[in-house]
Structure 1
C-alpha cells in the first residue's frame, strides 16, 4: 500500500529517480555471466531448503517483487524471480540475471511492508546497476552478498552454503541509492532501508561496513520528504504464518 507523502513536488522526486535509473544503463540480463549463474543455481537447488513457489509467503513476495520491477521502468526486469529459503538467519542476496533469494528470517526481521520492499529494491538495484555484468569475482560464485551480514573469519567474505560471496561496499551503496528512488516511485517509505541498517548487529568483523552504510543512507534519505509506511493485511498474514510454523 502507498505511503503518505508530504513536502517536495512528486515530479521533482520522479525526475531524481529517472536520473538514477538512467545511470544504470547496463543491459539485463548479462549473457556472459549465464554459465556462472547456472552453476550457482544448481548448487542452490541441491543444497538449500527452498520454499515452493506456490505457497502463500512465496507468492506474496514474488508479487511484491514484480510490482517493484514494473515501477522501475525497465520492462526487461519483469522476468525477475525471487525464491524464499527456509532459514531463520536474516539474509537476502542476488546471483544475477533476475534471480534473488530471501530467507524466512528476513521476513521475520522486517517490521513493515516498506522494509520488505526495501530488501527487494536493493536486490533489484544490483540488477539495474549492471553489477552482474562486471568481470566474475575470484570466488567463482557470480553472486553478491547484500542486505544482511554475519561474522566470518575472513573480512569482506560471506559463506552461504558452499557459495562464498565477496562484499563490495561501493556496489552496496550504489544498489542502496537506486533502491531509495525505486521505493519512492512504488509508493514505499525510502527510510525503511535506513531503519533496517540501524538495526543490524554492530559487532563482528563486518561491523565497519554497517556503519559506513548507515552514514551513506543517512545522507541519501534526506532527498525524500518524510513518509509514513502503511503495511497491507497480506503482509501481516504472511508474518503470522511464519511465526506459527
Structure 2
C-alpha cells in the first residue's frame, strides 16, 4: 500500500471500530512514511521477539557455537544497529546451525543468519549487507504492519471494504477472496525494497561498499540454481509469479541503491567504502560446510546418522531434506517418504508396537493389514490405508521399527494411487535398507569444511572446481561460493574458498 493511500485511509479511521482507531497510522522514523501499525505497539514487538526467540533457535538447529562466530556476527550487527533509527533496542544477533542460506528477523531487534549463509559470503561487507537488510525490517516495523493488517482482516473484511470504498481504495475484498493469510504471509515487494533502501543507509553509514549487497545476491542466485538442479528444475532460481514477494534479486538491490542515492539517505557515510575481505576470509576458513554430522547427513540417495548409528536409502528420483524434526524425501510427482523418531515411552504406554502404530500414531486414519515384520533382524510393525483427499486418492503405509529397547523409528510412505504400483517395490527396498551402522562406518562419516586457499600460478577455474569435496555440481559450487565464473580471470595469489 502506497503512502498516499495510507494518508487517505487514515482520514477515514473514525469509521472503523475503536480498536483500529487508537494510533493505527503513525509516522515511522526510519522511513518517514505513514504506516498502519496501531495494533502492535513497540512494547508488544519486544515481547513477541523475546517469546519467539527460543522457538526460532529450536526450529533452526540451535545456535552455532564454533569458532567465535556468534561474537563476530554480533560485533558487525551491533555496529550497524547503532547507526539505525532504533539504537535504543536491545539488539540480538544469532547464527543458527542451519545449512540453508537464509536470514530473518523478529520484531524487537532479533536478527538471525544461518551457517549456510556464512559460507556463501566472501567478505564482511556482504555479511553486513544481509544484516542491514534485516535491521531495516525491524526499524521499518514491517512485522507490526503485517500483524495490524492481519488483525484488521480478522476484525472484519466488510468493515475494511467500506473503509476502502470511502477512501477510494478498491479491491480489498478481492484480497480476502484470494486468502488473507496468503496475502499477508510474506513481506510485500514494497517492504522488501524499503528494507533494501534502509540496508543501504546503514551499510554506507558504517563505511561498507553498498555494492556488496549486489554481489551477495548474485551468489545467492547461483546457489539457488544449484538447488534447482538438485530438484530437477534448472530454472528454479529464475522463476517469478504473481504471488512472489521478491523481485529478481540483483535488480531489486540495484534499484534500492539508486533510490537511496536519489533520496539522499546515504548521507553521513564513512569513506572510503570497504569490503574487509581479508578479515572475513580468516574467519570463514574452517567453517563447517553443509550438513552437521551430529544431525545426520545426506549422501546421494542415502541418509546416514553416525551419532544414532543407522542409515537407509530412498528410491531414485527422490530428493532428501533433513530437518530438526524429520527426514523428508519427495519426488517430482509429490509422492513422499517421512522418517522420524518415535517415543519409546509412548510405545510402552500403548501396549507395544502394534498399539502405537494403530492408536498413538494413526489417530488421523484407520490402519489396516497391521502385521509384524522383521527388518534386518529388527522387530517392526506395518500397516496401510487408502485415504481420500482434496488432492485425490492416496495410499499410506506406516512402519514402526525397533532399533533397540530405547530407540524406535517411523517410516511413512505416501503415494498417489496411480503411482502406487510402480512405487511398491522401491518403497519396500527403502524399508529393508534401514540398518544399524558399525562403529567404523559411523566414524568414517566426517564433516566438510570451507577452506581458504591461494590461487597458484597457472591454476584454472577447472582445476579449483575439481578440488571441491562436494558430491555434485563442483563448478557450480565454486562459482556460488566465490562469485567467480568459468570465464572470469583468476590471478595467482588471489584467495578463494573451496570445500575440503
- TM tier relative to shorter chain: 0.5 to 0.7
Q: Which has the higher contact order (CA 8 A, sep 6+)?
A: 1
Equivalent in 184, 187, 191 of residue 211 of structure 2 = 191
TM-score of the two chains, using structure 1 as the length reference = 0.68
| Pair 23,235 (structure 1): closer, same or farther in 2 beyond 3 Å | same
Is 1:49 paired with 2:69? Answer: no
Larger Rg: 2
Matched, 1:237 2:249: no
Change (3 A) 1:134 1:239: same
**Which moves more between the two structures, 51-60 or 174-183?**
51-60
* Pairwise CA distance, 1:206: 6.6
Q: What's the CA shift for 1:211?
A: 4.0
The whole-number CA distance in structure 2 between the counterparts of 1:220 and 1:47 is: 31
Match for residue 90 of structure 1? 101
Q: CA deviation at 1:99?
A: 0.6
Could you tell me how far 1:168 is from its partner in structure 2? 1.9
Higher strand share: 2
> Kindly tell me: are residues 230 and 198 of structure 1, through their superposed partners in 2, closer, same or farther at Cα, counting changes over 3 Å?
closer
- For the 8 Å contact 1:88–1:103, the answer to whether it is kept is yes
| Pairwise CA RMSD | 3.7
From 48, 68, 71, the equivalent of 2:83 is: 71
Give the alignment of 1:83-232 within 5 angstroms: 83-136=94-147, 166-199=186-219, 200=221, 201=224, 202-204=237-239, 210-222=246-258, 223=261, 229-231=274-276
1:66, CA displacement in angstroms? Answer: 0.6
Which segment is superposed worse, 56-65 or 26-35? 26-35
Separation in 2 of the partners of 1:25 and 1:231?
Answer: 37
Q: Secondary structure at the match of 1:134?
A: helix
Describe the shift of the 1:68–1:61 C-alpha distance in structure 2 as closer, same or farther (beyond 3 A).
same
**SS at the partner of 2:88?**
helix
Q: How many residues align?
A: 204
The structure carrying a bigger helix percent of its residues is 1
Instruction: Flag the 1:75–1:41 CA change in 2: closer, same or farther, 3 A.
Output: closer
Paired residue for 2:377?
A: none
Q: CA–CA distance in 1 between the matches of 2:205 and 2:246?
A: 26
Structure 1: gaps of 5 or more residues: 1-19, 140-155, 158-163
**Closer, same or farther: CA 30–111 of 1 in aligned 2, 3 Å:** same
